[in-house]
Structures are given as structure tokens and as C-alpha cells.
């Protein structure tokens, strides 16, 4: 129910802003509207005020403004001076552009509201620093808060990442550690990463750090003589309670289990099959009093092989098996999947072999593997990329990250922050659409009403600020898409008005009708595509078809 409500509210606000833009600009420029409708189809409520009939219509997937003169046969002749088609080109262009422009104004206003309430962001507190990484050796530790990078204040992880990427050798970090203030020089490395479009890129980063704490998603040594295996814990279990105490991270799990004696009640979330919903499982563990998780047979799940990208992947061909725990690479212990990815990528770029040691049934097994370049595809959005891989898959689930709120109360700064954020998302949307039409991003990424409803519902359950942010971003998407030069969209009309202004007279009616037909079929094609993608992604949940 919350998804339906969120969808109707979000879409209603977006459509109202867009159509109100057209309507108010028309009224200001002396054009009269015959109908102002939210929704399509049969009217479930209507009321005439002045020359305009206001409607709520039964299909809540859009809206429209019908101007006098749009229906030539039924428009009163005395209204001709107020017809949209009777106006000068610049007036018509302003009226058409006002719709998308109001979507941008709405986004800027909503971003201002978000900043005023407080925009939640991932803070610069280090959730995890891998032992023996470059960052660890330079002095960084978990729970350190980075205040400055080379003298520049950083408040969010995005700020931190942006400032660090400007450097190619090392950075000077001002660090807050409990009640101490430290200044550390930390080398940066050119490492593999993901950009905001999900594409692989290389940029300078701190190695071995993450804003997220390591979660309590566990892997279990496949030796049968460990505490974990005797207790019934399985690789891929997320331990979330020990003796009634909530567990949110690997450190908390370590504190809850290490050195304990007697019986403990353990609750885990377990997905019996990949892609299925995790179920709660209650276990009773008879502790042996060991002083570390490793002694109990518990390791981070991200170190255990859960599958292979293909039967021909280098790891599969070398003889690695599901359930193997990756122990070391070239003599150095593997402590995270992130560091493994980085070592593998570097070896692939240098065409060098890796000596990998894995634990299998309590014994260490050696492998010599050269990473190979693989074609990868994200099945959700069809994203394609090439990466150097061993070809292994592991279980991964991020732990919590420290949050901070960006609050702006100065009116001038608040307005500028809203405008700046809107301009940023306009640019991101344009780049994303260009990538879509050039093939960098698959058309599987195109979503329809079901996707909008899911995103709206998910954000609303997180809180109103998250819902507002999604509202602003989708409003910008709507504004940008409407400005695309496709007939029947606002951008298509603006192209026609531009041609009319250049020619000094309107385009021939048959050309305009042909363009409208082409635009109509393009629009219908995109609608069908979005509905198809929605059904494939969400059909199993709604209709018992498609999905995974």
C-alpha cells in the first residue's frame, strides 16, 4: 500500500509542477486554457473556474493543459486572440519551456528544503581500515574521522573522495581520533573503482579503507572440527543477535563471541538459495572459550568462493572450488575482497601470474593463476564492461556507515546550494542519457511506473528527506527528458518553433503531422520498453512471471 501511495504522491507532485509551468506561463502571456487535468482518461472530478475546467482524471500517469484553439472545430471564434496557435513564436516557446523549467524549479526548492532539514550523507569516519594496507601502515585506523585533506575541509565521504582524487602521490590528512588530533601523510594509489554510472574507472584513492564497517556476514571453514560448523552456522549467514544482543558489525561479533564459555543463543538470517529472501534461523552454540573468531572457524564471508563467473574462468580452470577460503596471494594474507580485486587487476594489467593459497577442509592448497580479461554484464541494467578477473564470486554484505547531516540555514547559501545541486543532477542526467543512447548503458536501465513506485516507496520508508531527494532527482529527469528534441515532447515543439522563427513562417502542416506521428511512435516505443523492463524486474512479485 505504501508503494502505491508513494507513487501517486510523487507522480502527482511532478505532473502538477510540470503542467502548472505551462499553465501559468500561458496565463501570464495572455493565452487561455480550456482544460487543466491531472491524469488522463475519464474525469473523476471537475470544476470550471473562469474559462478553464480543472479535472482529476482516472489514470494517474501524467496530465495535460488543453488550450483554446487546440481543437479547431469546437473552439469559440471569439477566443481566437487567446489561442495558443495564434501567439508569436517566442510566446509559444516560453509556454512550452515553462513546463520543464518548473520541474527544475521544483527540484531546486526541494533540495533547499532537504538542506534546511538536514541532508543525510556518509561521513568521513573510517568504518574499516585493512591491516597491512598502505593506509594502515601510514597510521590510519578504524573509527578515525578525517577532517581535512591538504588543508581543505571535508564533511562527507564524497568530499573526501573528490579531494583525494586530485592528488597522485600522497595527501596530508587532519585526523580526529577520540580526543586526539593527528596529521598523517598517506600515500594514494591509482586503483580500480566505480563511477556513479556503475562504470569501471581508475582514480587515486586511499588503499584499504572504507566508510562501511565490516558486517557480520560470516564464512565458515569447511573443516568439520570447528565451533562454527558444530553449531550449524553456514557460509553466507548474517549473524544479527548473540544472546539477545544486536550485532551490527564484525567488531561487535568478535566482542560477543571471543573468549565466551557455555551456551549462547545465536540468531542468523539465512538465504537457502541465492536471490531468495533471508529467513531467521535460531541456533544454540556450545562455546569452547577460544579467543578469536578465526579459532572458532569464522571468517568474513567475502573471502569464501560462492561461485564462478563462468566455467572457463581462470580460477575454475585452475581447480578452485566453491567453499574454498582465499588465504593469501603472493605470500600476503588476503583480508578483504576489495584488496583481492586490486591485486588481481594489477596482475592482469602486467600480465603476471599470482600464487594463490586457499584453505579447503582444513588444509592449504596452492594455485598459480594468471588473471584474464572478461566481459562482464550487470543483469539488472545490462551494463557491460571488461575487467581482469580470477573469475570468482563471493558473498558480500556491507555493514553500517557513520552518517552526518549537511544543514544550511543561511538563506543565500541555502538557495545557492539548491541551485548548485539541481545543476549537478541536470548534468548527471544528460550524461546518463547520452550513455544510454550511445550504448554505454543498456536500455535495460530504463524504468517505468513500477520502478518509480518501488524507488518512491523504498525512499518513503527510509524517511521524508530520502523521499524528497528522490522527488527532486526524478523531477530533474522528467524536465531533461521533456527537452529532448523528439516530436510530441516539449523539446520537439521547441525545435519546430526554432525552425519556424528561422523560416519566418510555420512549417507545412503535413510535415508537422508526420513529425508528430514519428514522435508518437518513438514515445510509445519507450513506454512499451519501460513497461517490459518493469515486468521482467518486478513481474515475479506482482504477477508470478518474469523476474529471477
Cα angle 524, 528, 532; round to 5: 170
Nearest-angstrom CA–CA distance, 175 and 125: 9
Nearest-angstrom CA–CA distance, 111 and 422: 8
Nearest-angstrom CA–CA distance, 38 and 353: 63
Specify the DSSP element, H or E, that contains 286.
strand 279-288
Nearest-angstrom CA–CA distance, 228 and 234: 8
DSSP state for residue 304 in the 8-state scheme: B
Nearest-angstrom CA–CA distance, 404 and 219: 31
3-state helix, strand, coil in the chain (%, to 5): 40, 30, 30
Annotate 242-275 with b (16+ C-beta within 10 A) or e (fewer).
beeeebebbbbbbebbbebeeebebbbbeeeeee
And the C-alpha cell for 89?
513564436
Burial class (CB in 10 A: 0-12, 13-18, 19+), 324: buried
CA separation, residue 141 to residues 138, 245, 471 (Å): 9, 26, 37
Largest CA distance in the chain: 93
Q: Which of 19, 34, 359, 393 is catalytic?
A: 19
Nearest-angstrom CA–CA distance, 203 and 404: 25
Nearest-angstrom CA–CA distance, 53 and 43: 11
Respond yes or no: is residue 294 known to be catalytic: no
Secondary structure (3-state) at 407: coil
Nearest-angstrom CA–CA distance, 209 and 338: 10
CA separation, residue 195 to residues 294, 403, 430 (Å): 35, 21, 15
503, HSE (Cβ side, Cα atoms, 13 Å)? 10
And the C-alpha cell for 339?
584488496
Q: Which residues are catalytic?
A: 19
Amino acid at each position: 500500500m505504501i508503494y502505491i501511495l508513494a507513487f501517486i504522491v510523487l507522480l502527482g507532485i511532478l505532473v502538477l509542477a510540470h503542467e502548472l509551468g505551462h499553465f501559468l506561463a500561458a496565463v501570464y502571456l495572455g493565452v487561455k486554457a480550456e482544460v487543466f487535468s491531472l491524469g488522463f482518461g475519464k474525469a473523476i472530478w471537475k470544476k470550471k473556474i473562469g474559462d478553464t475546467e480543472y479535472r482529476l482524471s482516472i489514470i494517474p500517469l501524467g496530465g495535460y493543459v488543453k488550450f483554446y484553439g487546440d481543437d479547431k472545430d469546437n473552439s469559440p471564434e471569439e477566443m481566437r486572440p487567446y489561442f495558443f496557435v495564434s501567439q508569436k513564436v517566442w510566446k509559444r516557446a516560453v509556454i512550452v519551456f515553462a513546463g520543464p523549467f518548473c520541474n527544475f524549479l521544483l527540484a531546486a526548492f526541494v533540495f533547499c528544503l532537504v538542506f534546511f532539514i538536514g541532508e543525510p550523507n556518509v561521513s568521513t569516519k573510517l568504518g574499516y581500515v585493512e591491516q597491512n594496507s598502505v593506509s594502515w601502515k601510514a597510521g590510519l585506523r578504524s573509527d578515525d574521522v578525517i577532517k581535512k585533506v591538504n588543508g581543505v575541509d571535508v564533511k562527507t565521504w564524497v568530499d573526501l573522495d573528490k579531494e583525494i582524487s586530485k592528488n597522485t602521490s600522497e595527501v596530508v590528512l587532519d585526523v580526529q581520533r577520540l580526543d586526539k588530533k593527528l596529521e598523517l601523510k598517506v600515500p594514494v594509489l591509482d586503483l580500480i573503482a566505480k563511477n556513479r554510472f556503475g562504470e569501471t574507472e581508475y582514480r587515486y584513492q586511499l588503499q584499504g579503507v572504507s566508510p562501511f564497517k565490516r558486517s557480520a556476514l560470516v564464512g565458515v571453514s569447511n573443516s568439520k572440527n570447528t565451533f562454527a560448523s558444530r553449531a550449524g552456522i553456514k557460509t553466507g549467514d548474517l549473524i544479527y543477535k548473540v544472546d539477545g544482543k544486536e550485532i551490527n558489525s564484525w567488531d561487535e561479533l568478535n566482542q560477543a563471541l571471543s573468549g565466551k564459555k557455555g551456551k549462547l543463543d545465536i540468531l542468523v538470517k539465512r538465504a537457502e538459495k541465492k536471490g531468495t529472501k533471508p529467513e531467521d534461523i535460531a541456533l544454540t552454540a556450545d562455546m569452547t572459550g577460544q579467543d578469536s573468531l578465526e579459532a572458532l572457524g569464522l571468517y568474513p564471508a567475502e573471502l569464501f568462493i560462492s561461485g564462478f563467473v563462468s566455467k572457463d574462468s581462470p580460477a575454475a580452470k585452475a581447480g578452485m572450488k566453491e567453499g574454498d577460503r582465499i588465504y593469501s596471494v603472493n605470500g600476503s594474507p588476503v583480508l578483504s575482497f576489495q584488496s583481492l580485486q586490486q591485486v588481481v587487476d594489477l596482475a592482469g594489467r602486467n600480465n603476471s601470474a599470482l600464487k594463490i593459497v586457499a584453505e579447503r577442509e582444513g588444509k592449504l592448497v596452492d594455485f598459480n593463476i594468471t588473471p584474464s580479461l572478461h566481459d562482464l554484464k550487470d543483469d539488472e541494467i545490462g551494463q557491460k564492461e571488461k575487467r581482469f578477473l580470477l573469475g570468482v564470486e563471493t558473498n558480500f554484505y556491507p555493514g553500517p556507515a557513520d552518517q552526518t547531516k549537511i544543514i544550511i540555514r543561511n538563506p543565500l547559501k541555502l538557495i545557492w546550494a539548491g541551485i548548485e545541486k539541481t545543476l549537478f543532477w541536470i548534468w548527471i542526467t544528460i550524461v546518463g542519457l547520452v550513455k544510454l543512447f550511445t550504448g554505454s548503458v543498456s536500455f535495460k536501465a530504463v524504468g517505468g511506473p513500477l520502478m518509480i513506485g518501488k524507488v518512491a516507496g523504498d525512499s518513503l520508508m527510509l524517511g521524508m528527506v530520502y523521499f524528497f531527494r528522490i522527488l527532486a532527482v526524478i523531477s530533474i529527469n522528467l524536465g531533461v527528458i521533456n527537452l529532448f528534441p523528439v516530436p510530441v515532447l516539449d523539446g520537439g515543439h521547441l525545435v519546430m518553433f526554432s525552425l519556424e522563427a528561422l523560416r519566418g513562417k510555420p512549417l507545412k502542416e503535413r510535415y508537422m503531422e508526420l513529425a508528430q506521428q514519428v514522435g508518437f511512435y518513438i514515445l510509445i516505443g519507450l513506454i512499451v520498453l519501460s513497461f517490459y523492463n518493469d515486468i521482467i524486474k518486478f513481474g515475479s512479485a506482482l504477477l508470478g512471471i518474469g523476474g529471477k
